[in-house]
Amino acid sequence: MEEREIDIWGLVQAVLKRWWLVAIITILSGSISFGYSKFAITPLYSARGTLYITIDNTASSHGGTSLDYNSILAAQELTNTYSLILSSNTFYKIVAAESGLNYNYKEISRMVSMSNENESEIMSITATCPNREHAAIIVETMLNNAQAEISRVVIGGSVRIIDHPEMPLTRSYPNVTKNVFLCLILGVVLGCALAILIEWLDDTVKNSDDVMKYGIPVLAEIPLLEAKSE
């Protein structure tokens, strides 16, 4: 089989010649993505609250937040420990009972994530679930019970609530705009690839250059004449 050279300008022309095909595939991809993301996927909502890690309850006896440098470092190191304590089945069972929601502790554990904010002594707690109100309630319940659980496990351990959760107004998943944008790009790529493939597989003779590619001499060429209007 004879190898065919890749002509970049020819590929561009192939895409431009079949621009309608690229447009149809792009619009179709974006429409499918929008419909699937908007109506087929169950939306999830995230609520978030934060805790401040301290060493003991008397460190700020007058309501202040002044701690020495060693205490701050110790608090930063304790953040991971506190996260493990607040991720225990024992604590999740307390949250399940106190929240008043129809979730068991295993379901709540799958909804909750914790993180250390910028490697500081700030702990972030996030709950993600299909019900926006439930997400806020779960986080609020965890914040309100965190001090008692930390004090039970860690001698001198203490946490303070910084931010209470707010009921999320917009979904955290799926991101409809992002999904549609990515699928539009994918549609353009697939449309261009299909247009190039059709052109590549088209072996019909269109002009004298196509004939000479097969080593056949061209004896004459009949030009196309436009009919003159009378």
Dihedral of CA atoms 138, 141, 146, 147 in degrees, nearest 10, equals: 170
What is the architecture, at CATH level 2, of domain 45-163? Answer: 2-Layer Sandwich (3.30)
Return the residue matching tokens 């990515």. 182
DSSP secondary structure code for residue 166 in this structure: -
pLDDT per residue as tens digits for the range 27-80:
999 999 999 999 999 999 999 999 998 766 444 444 444 445 566 566 667 788
Q: How far apart are CA 156 and CA 60, in angstroms?
A: 13
The pLDDT, as a whole number, for residue 154 is 86
The pLDDT, as a whole number, for residue 166 is 95
The pLDDT, as a whole number, for residue 219 is 59
Average pLDDT, the chain: 83
Residues of the chain above pLDDT 70, percent: 75
For CATH 3.30.70.1130, the residue range(s) in the chain are 45-163
Q: Closest Cα to residue 209, out of 200, 201, 218?
A: 218
The two three-digit tokens of residue 170, written as one number? 């917009």
- The widest CA-to-CA distance across the chain, in whole angstroms, is 105
Q: How far apart are CA 161 and CA 48, in angstroms?
A: 12
In which element (H, E) is residue 161 found?
Answer: strand 158-163
* pLDDT averaged per 10 residues in sequence order, the chain, 230 residues: 62 88 95 93 96 64 50 69 93 96 95 84 93 97 95 87 94 93 96 89 66 61 61
Q: Closest Cα to residue 153, out of 105, 77, 84, 97?
A: 84
